[in-house]
Amino acid sequence: MSEHPVDFTPLFYPKTMAVIGASTNPVGAVKYVKAHLNTGIKIFPVNSNPKYTELEGLPVFRSVVDIKEDIDLAIIGVPKEFVPGVIEDFQRKVVKFAIIFTSGFKESGRDDLEKAVLAMMKTVKTRFIGPNCLGIYHPKGRVTYFPTFPATPDVAGNVSFISQSGGHTAKTNWYLYTRGVRFAKTISIGNAADLTPHDFLPYFKDDPDTAVVGYYLESSKDGRAFLKRVREITPVKPVVIWKGGQGSVGYKATASHTGELAGNFKLWLAMAKQSGAIIAEDFDVMADLLAMFSFKIQLPRSNRIAIVACGGGNAVETADIFEAGGFKIPELQDETKKRIGKFIPEINSAFTNPVDLGEYGYVPEYFANAVSIVSRDPNIDAIVYIKESSRFPMFSVNFLMSAEEYELKTIKTLVDLHEKNKKEGRDIPLYLNDPFIAEDLESLRWRVSFRDKLATKGIPVFNRVDVLMKAIKKAEEYQRFLVDVKEGRK
Amino acid sequence: MSEHPVDFTPLFYPKTMAVIGASTNPVGAVKYVKAHLNTGIKIFPVNSNPKYTELEGLPVFRSVVDIKEDIDLAIIGVPKEFVPGVIEDFQRKVVKFAIIFTSGFKESGRDDLEKAVLAMMKTVKTRFIGPNCLGIYHPKGRVTYFPTFPATPDVAGNVSFISQSGGHTAKTNWYLYTRGVRFAKTISIGNAADLTPHDFLPYFKDDPDTAVVGYYLESSKDGRAFLKRVREITPVKPVVIWKGGQGSVGYKATASHTGELAGNFKLWLAMAKQSGAIIAEDFDVMADLLAMFSFKIQLPRSNRIAIVACGGGNAVETADIFEAGGFKIPELQDETKKRIGKFIPEINSAFTNPVDLGEYGYVPEYFANAVSIVSRDPNIDAIVYIKESSRFPMFSVNFLMSAEEYELKTIKTLVDLHEKNKKEGRDIPLYLNDPFIAEDLESLRWRVSFRDKLATKGIPVFNRVDVLMKAIKKAEEYQRFLVDVKEGRK
C-alpha cells in the first residue's frame, strides 16, 4: 500500500521466475512451470521435498535461497500453513514480486493465517499479489496463469483488467477473448493483502498498451483512495467497474462483512459515478463496454438512436427495448427517407425509425447503403443495425449464392461502410447486433465465423440487444462526463 | 370472427392442399409444394399461366375449380392484385381453409386492397389465415411453412404458438427447437383479416396435444374478446403473451395506429394480467417460459430461492440478480448445512445461501447430492443451479477423465437428481443454468451436446440467469393466480 507508484516492470516482464511448491500434482503450482516453458523466462521450480530433483526437464531447488539469480517473480503454491515460511526466505533473497496462488486464508475464515502472512510480508521488500488468486495474464510479457491461455505478443490487446474473483478473472478473459477482444494486462488480485486494486491505476494511466481499464470488485476497502485514483485516470482512459455483491445476500457472501453494507454500497456507487467511472450492473454489460472501448467505437454524443433491421418484428422489438431504456428514436429527415426510397421500394418495408428494409434489406449492398444514408441524418447520434448470421444459409439461396459467398459479400459491405464512415469524418457510432436466433451447431458455426472475420477488420459484434442498450447508455453517460471535464464543470 | 368454435381439423390435418401461385420461382409459393411432397397430403399446384404444366412432378391446374377433389387447405401465393380473384373462385369450389401468404396489403398502406380481399372473403364459406403470413406449422399433421422446418410426427411437441409477425414466428420455432422445445401447432396469423388470434383459444383449451399457448401480439383489436377467452383457458393451461410495440415508437411501427396508444397498452397489460395471462416483457423471457411449461417444470410455491454454484463469483453474481429482482435468498437450515458438510469440507466453499461448493462441487456426484439436500430444506421454494458445460474439458483433467466421460457422468447425476426429486414427491422446481462463458466453436459444441442430451431426458437448460430470473418470477405469479382461482378469489 505504497504512497508512490510502483515499478511493475519485473512483474509484467519477468526475466526469472521461481515456482515454489511445484510438484507432480498436475493441478498444483507446476502448471505455472508448464505455462512458461519456452517463453524465454528462466524458470526455477522450488520444492523443499528432496524427492523432487527434476520437473518438466528443469532442476528443482529446495529453497529460493539456493537459486543464484535474483528473482523477478515468484509463484507461491505451497500448502497454506507453509506460506509464511516461504516468505521468510525472501529476507535472504531478492524476490521483486510474488503471487500467492494458495487459498484458504481470510476468505475461508482463516483470519489467523492471513494475519501471519501479512506480518511476514512486512519483513521483506517483495511486493505481493494475493493470496487466493490466479495471478497475472500479460501476453506481451509472456506471463499467464493457465497453460491453456495463450500468452504470446501476437494475442496482446488493449484491455487491462483487475478482479477480486479468480473465477471472474478467467471468465472475463476467456469470454471476451472468444468474442474477439484482446487483453493488455490482467491481474487476479484475490484477497489483496499487499498490492490492492488501486495500486495499478497510475501505471495503467501511463501504460501505452492500455486503452481501457476494467474491474471486478467485491469489497470496497480503501474506497475513497481508490476512487481518487479513478478520478485521475477517467478524463484520459475509461474505467469500467463491475461491482459484485450488490444485494445484501451477495454482499454477505463476498466476504466476512456484516450489517449496513447495502447503504454503503449505494454511497460507493454514487461516488464512483461522480469520479467518472462507468458502473456496469452485471458481467454482460461490462463485457459489451470493454468490447466497445477495446474496438474504439466512437462515443455517442447524445441518446438519439436509429435502428436499421430487416423485418418489422425485429425492428419493433429493438425499438421497444431502447425506448424502455430511455432512448429517443427520432423521426428521420424526409431527405433520408427519399434517399433510401431510391433503391428500396416501400413494399414490405418502412423508412420511419426503426427502419425496416424488408426483403430488400437482405441484399448486402442495399443494407449497408441504407445504414450509411441514415448515418448522415442530423436527427440521430448512433445507429444500431441488425444482421442475423444464423440465417445466411437461408438468405443466400434467394440470391443464388453459396452461404460462404453471401457471408463474404455481407462482411465486405459492412467493412466498407465502417471505413467510409471514418474516412468522411462522421462521429456516428455504428453498433452491430447479431442476436441469437438459433442455437444448433450449424447456426453457431455461422455466428462464430461472421464474428471472427469482422473482429479481424476491427468491427465488434454484439449479441444481446438489451445488454447493448445498457452499454450504449453507459457510453453516452461517459461522453457527458468527458464534456463536463473539458468544459470545466467537473 | 365467428361466435362459435371452428372445426380446425381440415386446417391442421389437411388431406388435400392446393398451392395457388406455384411457379418456378424458388422463393415463391412452390416452396409449399416442396415442403409437402411425400407427406401423404395430396398436393395440387395451381397457376393460371398455361406455360406451367408440371411442377415438382405434379400436374398444374389453371384454377382450383378444375380440381375434382374438395380442398381442405389452399395456400394463396399469387401477386397481391390477383388475390381477390383467386378467392372469387372459391364461390364455385369447396375450399375449407386458405392461407394468404401474399403480403402488400394493410401493413404496406394498401388498405384498399385489404378491403377488397375482406369483401370477397364474405362471399365464400372458406375460413382464412392472413394475409401477410407464413401459415401453419403442425408436425403431427405434416404441415409446415418452410421446407427446411421438419414437420413429421416424431418432432411434434406440446407448445402451441400464434404470432402476428412472420419473422417472430420463424424465430420462435427455430430458436426454441434448437433449445430442445417442440411445438404442437404454430400459426403465423399476419393481418388476421378473417380468423383472429382469439379464434384458436377454445380449440387449444381442448387440444390434448397443447400444454401451453404462446402469443406474439402487436395490435390489440378485439382486446376484450381476446382476454375473455384467455380467462377461460388460464385456469387449465398457461398462456404466455409477448406484446410487441410496447413503446410509442414501436407501437407506431407495428401498424397504421396513431395517438394515445401507450395508455391503451398499459390498460391492456393490466387486463391481461387480471385474466391470468403471463406477460413476457421480451422474446427471451417468453422463450424461457415456453421452455419451462413445455418441459413441465413444477411451479414455485413462493419466491424463496436457493442458488447452488461452484465458485464464489458465480454464486454472488446469481444472488445479486435474483435479489435485485425481488426474490428472497433465505438462510438454509443448520441441518442442511451439516448434511452438505459431511462430504464437502468447508474450505474454499460456503454453505450459506448462495451455496458455493468450491472445487469439490466439480465432482459430479457431490454437486448433485448437494442440490438434492438443499431441495429438502423447508426454507426454500425453488433451486437455481449452475453448470458450465464449456468448462468440461478443463475440469475433466482434474478427475483424470476424458471430457466426454465427465459430461456423461455429470448428466447421469443430474438425471438421477431430477428423478429422485420427482419420485419422492417433492414439488421443488430445479432450474439448470448454463451461462455463456465462452463463444468459441469448441465451447459452443460442449454447450449444444450437454443441452441436447439433457433435453432428451426431459431437463431443459437455461442460458441467461437474468432472463431465467424474470421467467421464474412470472411462473411464481401464475402459481399465485392458480391458487386464487382454486380458492375462489378469482
Distance CA A339, CA A289 (A): 33
Chain B: closest CA distance from residue A246 (Å): 6
Q: Among A472, A319, A476, A339, which Cα is nearest to A386's?
A: A319
Residue of chain A whose alpha carbon sits nearest to that of B324? A247
Residue B481 lies in a domain: no
ipTM (interface pTM): 0.92
B 169-198 residues inside an 8 A Cβ radius of A: 171, 174-175, 177-179
Q: Please, what is the average pLDDT of chain A?
A: 92
Chain A residue closest in CA terms to B349: A108
Q: Which of B250, B350, B397 sits opposite A319 (nearest CB)?
A: B250
Of A253, A394, A451, the CB nearest to B312: A253
Domain, as residue range, for B429: 298-459
Q: Is A165 close to B311, i.e. CB distance below 8 A?
A: yes
Provide the CATH number for the domain around residue A445: 3.40.50.261
Residue A288 backbone dihedrals phi, psi, to 5 degrees: -65, -40
Same domain membership, residue A162 and residue A73: no
* CB-based contact, B60 to chain A, within 8 Å: no
Q: What percent of chain B has pLDDT over 90?
A: 79
Q: A305 with A326: CB under 8 angstroms?
A: no
Distance, CA of A388 to CA of A364 (rounded, Å): 12
Express each pLDDT in A149-171 by its tens digit: 889 999 999 999 999 999 899 99
Q: Per mean pLDDT, which range of A236-250, A427-441, B288-302, B350-364 is the poorest? A: A236-250
A residues 229-248 lying closer than 8 A (beta carbon) to B:
244-248
- Is residue B487 domain-resident? no
pLDDT at B269: 84
Q: Do both B217 and B255 map to the same domain? A: yes
B396 within some domain: yes
Take residue B420 and report the three cell numbers written for it.
429422485
A264 touches chain B (CB under 8 A): no
Same domain, B323 and B451: yes
Residue A337 and residue A285 share a domain: no
Q: Do A444 and B441 touch (CB under 8 A)?
A: yes
Residue A465 lies in a domain: no
B412-B455-B243-A368 Cα dihedral, nearest 10 degrees: 110
Q: Give the list of residues 6+ apart from residue A278 with CB closer than 8 angstroms, or none.
A: A238, A239, A240, A241, A289, A474, A475, A477, A478
Residue of higher predicted confidence among A301 and B245? A301
Q: Would you call B87 exposed, middle or buried from its count of C-beta atoms within 10 A (0-12, 13-18, 19+)?
A: buried
Q: Do B107 and A312 touch (CB under 8 A)?
A: yes
Where is pLDDT greater, at B248 or B76?
A: B76
How much is the pLDDT for B258? Answer: 31
Predicted pLDDT at B253? 54
Domain identity same for A263 and A306: no
Residues of B in contact with A103 (CB under 8 A): 348
Q: Are residues B444 and B321 in the same domain?
A: yes
Task: Kindly state whether residue B199 falls inside one of the protein's structural domains.
Answer: yes
B63, B48 Cβ separation under 8 angstroms: yes
Residues B25 and B141 in one domain: no
For B54-64, the pLDDT digits (tens) are 999 999 999 99
Sign for the CA dihedral angle at A262, A266, A269, A271 comes to: negative
Q: Is A150 on the interface with B (CB under 8 A)?
A: no
Q: Which residue of B has its CA nearest to A306?
A: B249
Q: Are residues B85 and B178 in the same domain?
A: no
Position A482 in a domain: no
A94-98, A359-363, A455-459, B203-207 — which is least confidently predicted? A359-363
Mark yes or no for CB contact A253/B352 under 8 Å.
yes
Please state the rounded mean pLDDT for residues A20-34: 91
Does residue A464 belong to any structural domain of this protein? no
Residue A90 lies in a domain: yes
Give B171's contacts in chain A (Cβ within 8 Å): 313, 437
The CATH code of the domain that includes B49 is 3.40.50.720
Closest chain B CA to residue A388 = B171
Residue of chain B nearest A170, judged by CA positions: B437
Distance from CA of A347 to the nearest CA of B (A): 6
pLDDT tens per residue, range A176-205: 999 999 999 999 999 999 999 999 999 999
Domain's final residue, options B110, B132, B154: B132
From B139, B97, B120, select the one nearest B7 (Cα to Cα): B97
A436 at B interface, C-beta within 8 A: yes
Nearest-CA distance A280 → chain B (Å): 13
In DSSP notation, B390-445 reads GGHHHHHHHTT--HHHHHHHHHHHHHHHHHHHHHTT----EEEE------SHHHHH
A59 inside 8 A of chain B by CB:
no
Indicate the residue among B85, B105, B132 that finishes a domain. Answer: B132
Question: For the ranges A275-279, A307-311, A351-355, which has the lowest average pLDDT?
Answer: A351-355
pLDDT tens figures, B240-289: 999 887 666 655 555 433 333 445 777 888 888 899 999 999 999 999 99
Residue type, A243: K
Cβ separation A178–B443 shorter than 8 A? yes
Looking at the fold, whether B342 and B441 belong to one and the same domain comes out as yes
Size of interface A-B (CB pairs under 8 A): 188
| Residue the block writes with cell 454514487 | A270
B257: which 3 cell numbers? 395506429
* Alpha helix (H) residue ranges in B122-222: 166-178, 201-206
What pLDDT does residue B267 have? 80
Per-residue pLDDT reduced to its tens digit, A122-131:
999 999 999 9
Q: Hey, is the C-beta of A144 within 8 angstroms of any chain B C-beta? A: no
DSSP conformational letter for B24? S
Q: Does any CB of chain B come closer than 8 Å to the CB of residue A407?
A: no
pLDDT score, position A490 = 83
DSSP B218-283: ---TTHHHHHHHHHHHTTTS-EEEEE---SHHHHHHHSS--SSHHHHHHHHHHHHHHTT-EEESSH
How far A441 CA lies from chain B's nearest CA (Å)?
7
Q: If you compute the radius of gyration of chain A from its CA atoms, what whole number of angstroms results?
A: 26
B451: cell is 443441452
Residues A303 and A355 in one domain: yes
Question: Are A158 and A173 in the same domain?
Answer: yes
Kindly report the average pLDDT of chain B as a whole number: 92
Contact (CB<8Å) A313/B216? yes
With CB atoms and an 8 Å threshold, state whether A27 touches B437: no
Residue of B248, B337, B436, B445 to mutate for A, most A C-beta atoms under 10 A: B436
- In B, which residues are within 8 Å of A445 by CB distance? 441
CB-CB neighbors (< 8 A) of B441 in chain A: 444-445, 448
Query: pLDDT for A60-72, tens place per residue?
Result: 999 999 999 999 9
Tell me which of A1 and B377 has the higher pLDDT. B377
Task: Say if residue B167 is in the same domain as residue B287.
Answer: yes
Total domains present in chain B:
3
